[in-house]
Structure 1
Amino acid sequence: MINNKLTNNAPTPTLFSSLLLPGLLLITVSSMTMAEPSRSNSSASAEKSAPLASYYSTLQVYETEGPYHQNSSEVLYSLGLELQKGGQHGKALKALRRAMHINRVNDGLNSFSQAPMLRSIINSQKSMARIEPVTNSYNQLLRIHIATYGRNAPRIGLLLNEVGLWHIDAYQFDESETRIDHLTSAYSLIISALKLSETNPDVAPSEQIQFLRSAALANFHLSRHQGDEWSSSTNSHYSRSADGFATTNPQRTKILSGASFRRGLACHQRIIELTAANPDASLEEKTRAQTELADWYLLFNHRTEAMIQYQQVLAEIESSDQADALYKQFFATPRLLPALRMEQKQGAMTGLFMTANVDISDKGWGSGIDNIEEALRPGQSPATNKNLRYKMLNAIKGARFRPQFVDNKPADVSDVTLTLPLIH
């Protein structure tokens, strides 16, 4: 059963305007690579264009048989993926949209076979900062899943959680009066995912833990929300992305930092219980669960409790047969909290990454912020948003870090290079 501490006074979603930004990873080009003759560049360009030419040629054949030839959809989809690899997201979107249109004509409006196309569309929309279209695409993707599997299918939970986390990212870029709706939407979606996992015995503990971590993250941002948007959002309608996964709650204005702390604390305590009860849980997973409980205390200035918990974790690490690896992973360098903010989805094509050099105190506060830059993925252009530097500054200034530990004691550290995914 779900602990009432997780859901009491829970916020609900409302209409919103979403902001997504592109993101990219750092690459290093050696002087030798830069000095290669133009002949090599021409050869490489020809190799890249060969698959594209093949796709276009195949499409011409199918188009002679009609504009909605079933096989055209698959070829256009493959073409879109190939264009994405080269960072040609505008052309990729055209191909992917055409692929999905043909798919819907042939297989129906709610055909699940269009889901991979929608996901690829979302990737390109993120990379091009197409904010509102991303919102619409996520909503469409959710509707397709519901039409295919039903509203109460456990497998819907992963997508609910994904869309909820997206709202948390978007919240940090939205400066409108309705920005709080991102958080209320996120909370409702994530809690819905958690409820589905709690009521289905076949859901793996790792999936339930994933939703609990997301719920704690949503509570963290709710506790930090500032402004007078609470009352204006109370009577609004639901976000389309959260459609059907919420109930109205006129008591949103009662959500305070204390309530968010208690709900998040219950999430982390439940994670520890699930991890301890799972015979397949690794030592790394158990260490993460215990460490993130200490992180939660530190985030809310319960420093005494945090340090006691950190010391317990360090003692367990020291007595284990993985001491060096676990110490390096969790305590050798400072980590922005909540730790989930620092993680990126494995194999993700998009995101917005910023880097900066920061001094971090033994109490977990950042200062001396310098060298703020956007990190770029191969083949993509920098984001056009002029406020990224200020977003990064605000993210660090208002943040708490798990400090570096030296000889089992928190220590000051200077000039740490921080890479933060602002959009995952």
Structure 2
Amino acid sequence: MMTPYAPCRRLACRALLFLWLAPAAVALAGGEPYGRDFAREGARWGEGGPPAVLVPPLPAAADAPPAAELAALRARLAALEAEGGPYAGGLEEPLAALGRALAARGRYAEAVAAYRRALHVLRVNDGLYGEAQKPLLAALLGIYRAAGDFATLDEQYPWFYRVYGNGQPPLTGLRLEAALAYQRWQREALRRDLGNGTRRLLALIDEGAELLDRVAGEPAAAWRARRDLALSQLRNLYLVGDLVAPPPEDYPGLRDPDPFQRNELFTDDPQEERLQALRRTAQGDGRRLLEELAAAAPDPEARAEVLVALGDWQQWHGREGAAREAWENAIDALKRAGRRERVAALFGEPRELPDNGVFWQPPTPAADAPRPVVAARFTVTERGRARAVDAETVSGRDSARIGVVRSLRRLRFRPAFADGAPVATAGVERFYEVYD
């Protein structure tokens, strides 16, 4: 079944210039990528990694077993190998225990070796896709992230996803969580510039659309699955708006396009042509995606949550009238549902957009150095723009405040609402952490 918000599978256009993180792309395609260079102090989003139900946290150093226990594990392994050989069934258990113990001590390379050997033993005895290897794969993902080895983490994620169903129905429970985690990782890999960005972004959009097709094809599919997959695809479209720059002739005043010379500027790469088509339709695709989701919502509160996301999407693209209409409809729906506390939580104060972490780069566990913190004071107008911005550096390099001030002036906000209408908010005070 073809979805109307997946044009990359049915549209083609002429060539493009694909430039990563080009400033003009932000100006023409979407708003400031909030969360990429700075965010409110202590901000956290689900984009920071898979849920703990799939990849539990690594054991703490305080839980590391004593040296005598490590020696006992190694002796047990040697005895099992002597009795049954290097691939004996049962070796995976002490190998995994050894891997956990080494990870707790921060000896990541040795822990990886133990877990990989445990996986090999399991695959020899139980097959390539046996259920028993799931916790071992999850532990490996956690170790690679803790060690900052994102290239190997990227190599391992497809296998992890495949063991959890590879996005095939039924998309419920851990299968759904794995599909969402895989999408999150692909977005993080794009932010980290791992591998071929063009191919990865296209594959991400295609996979997101296919997952939505599978859910739509199952009448009994839970609302949560459709909602979460749709919002995941929306984040993918946010990345399109930020990462794909228009071709030179789309920059006003840059030059007069010559149709007879135009092709000399481009590569005639079909993948890049598809990306340009996506860039030009991304705003409308995201709007239709959310409108269809809102129409299918099972109750007013669920519909309101989608309308908030729709308003944020429209606002980020500078469509202030459409954003206000969506937010007003969300407020009305929440009031009808008797959820005035949700109205206060969502619209009681201005909110930086996008408020979903799609541009956020999670800090690595090894990054212990404190980041600069900037205190800012400003007014957010009823149109969701920061004015009268003033800032000072609280800690770290003094120049950090300059970038925050410039970015705040370009940033788009969801304004505060009072009595169902947007209002200006003076004296907004925020502490921002700056990502060097």
TM-score computed with the length of structure 2 as normaliser: 0.65
Given candidates 265, 274, 277, the residue that maps to 2:287 is 265
> Is the 8 Å Cα contact of residues 180 and 229 (structure 2) preserved in structure 1?
yes
Q: For residue 80 of structure 2, what is the amino acid of its counterpart? A: E
Q: Distance in 1 between matches of 2:176 and 2:188?
A: 19
Structure 2 gaps of 5+ residues are: 12-35, 43-59, 248-264
Q: Distance in 2 between matches of 1:85 and 1:232?
A: 49
Shift of 1:10: 4.2
Q: For residue 142 of structure 1, what is the amino acid of its counterpart? A: Y
SS of aligned partner of 1:221: helix
> Is the 8 Å Cα contact of residues 52 and 79 (structure 1) preserved in structure 2?
no
The answer for the alignment partner of 1:111 in structure 2 is 130
The answer for the alignment partner of 2:422 in structure 1 is 409
Shift of 1:310: 2.0
Q: For residue 236 of structure 2, what is the amino acid of its counterpart? A: A
Mean Cα displacement is larger for which, 52-61 or 193-202?
A: 52-61
Compared CA separation, residues 398 and 136, structure 1 to 2 (3 A): farther
The answer for the alignment partner of 2:75 in structure 1 is 60
The answer for the alignment partner of 1:36 in structure 2 is none
Q: Distance in 2 between matches of 1:51 and 1:153?
A: 45
Structure having the higher Rg: 2
Q: Distance in 1 between matches of 2:108 and 2:393?
A: 29
Mean Cα displacement is larger for which, 129-138 or 330-339?
A: 330-339
The answer for the alignment partner of 1:332 in structure 2 is 348
Q: Distance in 1 between matches of 2:409 and 2:185?
A: 22
The answer for the alignment partner of 1:8 in structure 2 is 7
Shift of 1:228: 7.8
The answer for the alignment partner of 1:274 in structure 2 is 296
Residue 94, structure 1, aligned to residue 113, structure 2: yes
Q: For residue 197 of structure 2, what is the amino acid of its counterpart? A: R
Residue 144, structure 1, aligned to residue 163, structure 2: yes
Q: Distance in 2 between matches of 1:303 and 1:291?
A: 13
TM alignment of 1:10-49, pairs within 5 A? 10=9, 48-49=63-64
Compared CA separation, residues 368 and 187, structure 1 to 2 (3 A): farther
> Is the 8 Å Cα contact of residues 55 and 75 (structure 1) preserved in structure 2?
no
Per-residue deviation, residues 109-168 of structure 1 (Å, max 9, x unmatched): 3333222211221122122221221111012223334xxx57743335653443222222
Q: For residue 180 of structure 1, what is the amino acid of its counterpart? A: T
Residue 256, structure 1, aligned to residue 264, structure 2: no
> Is the 8 Å Cα contact of residues 357 and 370 (structure 1) preserved in structure 2?
yes
Residue 201, structure 1, aligned to residue 214, structure 2: no
Q: Distance in 2 between matches of 1:11 and 1:182?
A: 18
Shift of 1:315: 4.1
Given candidates 364, 386, 392, the residue that maps to 2:384 is 364
Q: Distance in 1 between matches of 2:202 and 2:392?
A: 33
The answer for the alignment partner of 2:238 in structure 1 is 220
Mean Cα displacement is larger for which, 388-397 or 156-165?
A: 388-397
Per-residue deviation, residues 279-332 of structure 1 (Å, max 9, x unmatched): xx573x333112112112111111012123323333444565331x21343123
Q: For residue 287 of structure 1, what is the amino acid of its counterpart? A: A
Compared CA separation, residues 225 and 109, structure 1 to 2 (3 A): same
Given candidates 140, 145, 148, the residue that maps to 1:121 is 140
Compared CA separation, residues 335 and 234, structure 1 to 2 (3 A): farther
Q: Distance in 1 between matches of 2:216 and 2:142?
A: 30
Identical amino acids, percent of aligned pairs: 16
SS of aligned partner of 1:154: coil
